[in-house]
Structure 1
Amino acid sequence: MARPQISLKTRALRYLSSREHSRLELARKLVAYAQEGDDIEALLDWLQASKFLSEERFSESLVNRRAGRFGNNRILYELKSHGIAADSDVRQGLLDGELERAREVLRRKFSEKPADPVLRAKCMRFLQQRGFSPRSIEVAMKSAWDDEEGV
């Protein structure tokens, strides 16, 4: 006996029940299952009107998931790739905590202050690849291990 075909609406609600999605991301996932006559844009409009789909909630969720590991540049790029322009509140929230996040990421990865220039360059490349700004990298390299040395 064949399994009944899942409707596009049901599939969209299943995706949204597991985690927040951006409108663009959800549309990409649903396109593969769309039948002739299905209107994905109308479904996405209905999901947004019903508050099942929210770009604000998605951006908050993404920032909360990524902030502990990545810098502002990487997080803002990821938001942009999902079709979301970061508003000023999100940008300001990220800017306020970037330096402390850079210090924390650096301490977690490298347990002690780099002694030689090769290891220092490695630390700096690590932070740069994580999307931290040059200013945050510079300050974090100077002060990340200061707290532990005084203890």
Structure 2
Amino acid sequence: MASGASDLVLIAYDGSDNAKRAIRHAGHFLSASRAIIVTAWEPLSRQAARISGLSGVMQPGWVPDTAAEDAALADARVVNEEGVRLAGEAGLRCEGHCIETVTTVWAAIVDAADEYDVSILVTGTRGATGIKALLHSSVADQVLKHCHRPVMIVPPCEG
């Protein structure tokens, strides 16, 4: 990787096998001074509101316990810590960050790339094709379309 302003790699990590593969490839092919492992999460109250809106049925209001940590954030932290560990094993000096998704996962990742002023963004992809790809847009595809930085997309393993 050419020496840039920051030589910082952002790796989107969700705990999937494809995300693990992306970390291994980043460690193998990129030589950067640092990496940030980013895990996007959505608060449970927002997930509940989104899902109830999709059902078309009015749901009773839910007020989350503000004294307790959001379970979605707790899960994201566990996933992110795994990503940091895997990145370290892949030879990357890194730190982890959990970022709250306000609109979409891809937008949170692109915003984080801008906030941290990264040199390149790395993500895995499911590699969906055909009807499945038409019905459910890939986060990696949206990152590629909307990020104004170099993006490395690691496809899933064949098989």
Name the TM-score class by shorter chain. under 0.3
More helix by share: 1
TM-score w.r.t. structure 2 length? 0.22
Between structure 1 and structure 2, the one with the greater Rg is 1
* TM superposition score normalised by structure 1: 0.23
Relative contact order higher in (CA < 8 Å, ≥ 6 apart): 2
